[in-house]
Amino acid sequence: MSVLLETSLGDLVIDLEVDLCPKTCENFLKLCKLYYYNLNAFFNVQKDFLAQTGDPTATGTGGESIWSYINNNSQSSTRTVPRFFTPEILPKLKHQTKGTVSMAVAPPSESGALGGCASQFFVTLADSTEYLDGVHAVFGHVVEGLDTLDKLNEVFVGKDFRPMKDVRIRHVVILDDPFPDPPGLEPLIPSNPPTKPPDAGSNSFFGIGEDEDPLATLPEEEEEKKRREAAAKSSALTLEMVGDLPFANVRPPENVLFVCKLNPVTRDEDLELIFSRFGVIMSCQVIRDKKTGDSLQYAFIEFDKREDAEQAYFKMQNVLVDDRRIWVDFSQSVAKANDYWSNDITRGPGKKRGLGLGSGFGGREDLVQTRRYRDDGHDKRERGGGRGEYGMVFDVPSSDSRRKDRDRDSRKRSRSPERERRRSASPRWNDRRDRDRDRDYERRRDRKR
């Protein structure tokens, strides 16, 4: 009677001693039938000694026998079935050769619970391990797949003998099963094998997955592409942090053209008239110096459709405009996403452009603008704010509060003893004091009359 174990390192065919160890073999076969061992990890691999598996938790403390499993998962059963069963340790079956399959026998616990066999088993990786005789229960031998055992013996392990890269039983195939199913087993057989390792939620080990290749390398072109993408992402995050980008994954608009090498005399109306033959233009703006108003000899032209912008790009490249050969390219600026383009003095500082952005943020319906400041406006005077209010996250006193603080400080200074002494010593102050005293005297006199 045989079982095929398909592991991540190769296949193992195990012949079972069903005549000498019937209960152990029945327990093993019925657990295989329930896909109990599928995706179980070899959690204990010791070089030239053994490789242990069969614990769904991959900790060495889990697992149960088939009869305990049926009892715990059956709704009709009320009786208690022990987790372990009595091991079948026979003097005839010894751990002499490499590939001996044996049930791990748990010792009695300190609480008084009896030990025994459950679901955990191991395969020896070397000959002459007779010191395991009488301690663990042999129930089979590996007849095919000794090269798989050699690979298993050479895996790198950590301090707890857990392989650094997971080695798992991917699937179990029962080649022959002479035992009838115990009562209650049939309803528990799943329709499909599990696709997720039973210990996937355990935090006991963080290593390399059995389907990962830590030494895999990509072609040089792909590696360079990944490095460039990582560098671009890092730069975009930095620009977002310093405020140059509204958000890191912003993309430049595809319907905006960048035109440079313009003649300083070229106006917005001239460019709009020239480019309007390719489609509807939403905005056309020659960028000018903020102070002088002189043209900086480049402009942005926004079309209604991306196809119109592409046609203008191909047709207007190196065309003569006002005795200058212009250069046309797609805009890489993302300033449009902030609803502010440039410092065009003809519209005033901080004025919004009519760019046809619509709803959403940055011209995209699926984006929402996040607020970094208390007031997103650039000109606080237009929004009701006083001059000098920054509107940043930290608190800045308003103009009224600053005026009150200034008046309070001036009153404090006016009442200081040193200031009173100086004012009283001044001839001008003495004259004023005499006038005020005479005026008060006359008022009191008039009031008495």
Tell me whether residue 147 is in a domain.
yes
Shared domain check, 177 and 32: yes
The least confident of 77-86, 260-269, 355-364, 432-441 is: 355-364
Average pLDDT over residues 84-100: 92
Cα separation, 189 vs 370, in Å, equals: 52
| Number of separate domains in the chain | 2
More confident residue, 201 or 271: 271
Quickly list H helices, 116-260: 146-153, 220-242
- pLDDT surpassing 50 at residue 380: no
Partners of 142 in the β-ladder: 14
Residue 88 region by backbone torsions, left for phi larger than 0, else alpha for psi between -120 and 50, else beta: beta
Tell me whether residue 390 is in a domain.
no
Shared domain check, 168 and 289: no
The least confident of 36-50, 109-123, 294-308, 371-385 is: 371-385
Tell me whether residue 38 is in a domain.
yes
Average pLDDT over residues 46-73: 92
Give which of 88, 87, 45, 84 is closest to 63, Cα–Cα. 84
Confidence of residue 290 (pLDDT cuts 50, 70, 90): confident
Tell me whether residue 171 is in a domain.
yes
Give which of 368, 328, 39 is closest to 192, Cα–Cα. 39
- Backbone phi and psi for residue 330, each to the nearest 5 degrees, phi listed first: -75, 140
Supply the CATH number for residue 110's domain. 2.40.100.10
pLDDT in tens, 218-232: 788 888 888 888 888
pLDDT at 221: 86
Shared domain check, 352 and 282: yes
Tell me whether residue 431 is in a domain.
no
pLDDT at 133: 92
Which amino acid is present at 287?
I
Q: Which domain holds residue 181?
A: 2-188
pLDDT in tens, 326-369: 999 998 877 666 554 444 444 444 444 444 444 455 454 555 55
Crossing angle (nearest 10°) for helices 417-425 and 427-448: 90
pLDDT at 349: 40
Q: Which of 354, 370, 386 finishes a domain?
A: 370
Shared domain check, 116 and 32: yes
Give which of 82, 54, 87 is closest to 68, Cα–Cα. 82
pLDDT at 77: 66
Tokens standing for residue 368: 């929402």
Which amino acid is present at 416?
S
pLDDT at 78: 67
Tell me whether residue 6 is in a domain.
yes
pLDDT in tens, 140-149: 999 999 999 9
Shared domain check, 160 and 69: yes
- pLDDT surpassing 90 at residue 98: yes
Confidence of residue 235 (pLDDT cuts 50, 70, 90): confident
Supply the CATH number for residue 344's domain. 3.30.70.330
pLDDT at 205: 56
Tell me the average pLDDT of the chain. Answer: 79
Contact residues for 430 (Cβ-Cβ < 8 A; gap 6+): 424
Buried b (16+ CB within 10 A) or exposed e, 231-259: eeeeebeebeeeeebbbeebeebebbbbb
For the purposes of burial, counting CB atoms within 10 Å of the CB of 162, is it exposed (0-12), middle (13-18) or buried (19 or more)?
buried
Q: Give the 3-state secondary structure percentages of the chain, helix then strand then coil, rounded to 5.
A: 30, 20, 55
Tell me whether residue 236 is in a domain.
no
Average pLDDT over residues 97-118: 84
Average pLDDT over residues 6-29: 94
More confident residue, 401 or 296: 296
- The H or E element containing residue 15 is strand 10-16
Among 186-195, 197-206, 232-241, 424-433, name the most confident range.
186-195
pLDDT at 3: 94
- pLDDT surpassing 90 at residue 42: yes
Query: Helix or strand or coil: residue 421?
Result: helix
Positive/negative CA dihedral, 423, 428, 434, 438: negative
Give which of 59, 100, 78 is closest to 198, Cα–Cα. 59
The least confident of 243-257, 278-292, 409-423 is: 409-423
CB 104 within 8 A of CB 52: yes
CA 64 from centre of chain: 37
Residue 422 region by backbone torsions, left for phi larger than 0, else alpha for psi between -120 and 50, else beta: alpha
pLDDT in tens, 238-265: 877 777 777 777 778 889 999 999 999 9
The least confident of 28-32, 53-57, 79-83 is: 79-83
CB 236 within 8 A of CB 252: no
Give which of 16, 3, 47 is closest to 169, Cα–Cα. 3
pLDDT at 346: 42
Query: Helix or strand or coil: residue 432?
Result: helix
- pLDDT surpassing 80 at residue 96: yes
- pLDDT surpassing 90 at residue 76: no
Tell me whether residue 215 is in a domain.
no
- pLDDT surpassing 70 at residue 416: no
pLDDT at 251: 76
Q: Which of 309, 338, 370 finishes a domain?
A: 370
Tokens standing for residue 443: 């008022």
pLDDT at 378: 44
**Percent of the chain at pLDDT exceeding 70:** 71
